[in-house]
Amino acid sequence: MRHVVVLTGAAAVAAGIWIVLMLLDPNPSDGGVAAEVATPLLLVVEPKDEPPMVELVRTADGLERLQVGIILNGTWRRGGDFVELSEGVEQVTWPAAVPLAGASNVAVRFPTEAMPILMTVNVYGDTLDADGAPVGEPIFSVDCATADMLPGGECELDHVSDSFVLTGVRLARDGISRIAVNVHWSLRDSSDTTVWATWLFTVTGDL
């Protein structure tokens, strides 16, 4: 049986490519004809000491910045110490709604060479409670692991220059959409410890 191992890392990120290593079973029981199995094998690129400035972008002509996300919460490592990004914050603050003028080709740009390992995207309507939290269930929600972020995955990430761009998820809905993107990254010295943060965006449009 033939297996496909997708290998990414600093060299692959710098080159903007996916490196694919083909492994062949020396004694195939099926005559060498089998479905390819893709398994992500990631070389961890360490996140920097500060969370990235995640942006909502339009992808029609390059990457036009629409909005800088507001960090709701998270845990990050700064100088070897873990800090809570939401310490002392009680009110949820959303950015002012950006009009899309009918353009639905919006994406989220992560200006980092560190590949996420987990991602959750929730899209809510406009109704908020007294603390600014969305009321009710999300209009749309998706949870993705690393394999889902590879080409063709539900949360496909495109590598553009020194960034990853979330293009595989339809983020905007009719009316006002409040978007929450929660992302986790691995740390090189621990397979069990992650840094993470949630970014908030708001858009409006008749899509």
Cβ-based neighbour number of residue 27 at 10 Å: 5
Print pLDDT tens along the chain (207 aa). Answer: 333 333 333 333 333 333 333 333 444 445 554 444 444 455 557 788 899 999 999 887 778 899 999 999 999 998 888 999 986 678 999 999 998 865 567 899 999 999 999 999 999 999 999 999 999 999 999 999 999 999 999 999 998 888 999 988 888 788 889 999 999 999 877 667 899 999 999 999 865
Report the alpha-carbon distance of residue 106 to residue 100 in Å, rounded: 9
pLDDT digits (tens, 9 = 90+) for 85-124: 986 678 999 999 998 865 567 899 999 999 999 999 999 9
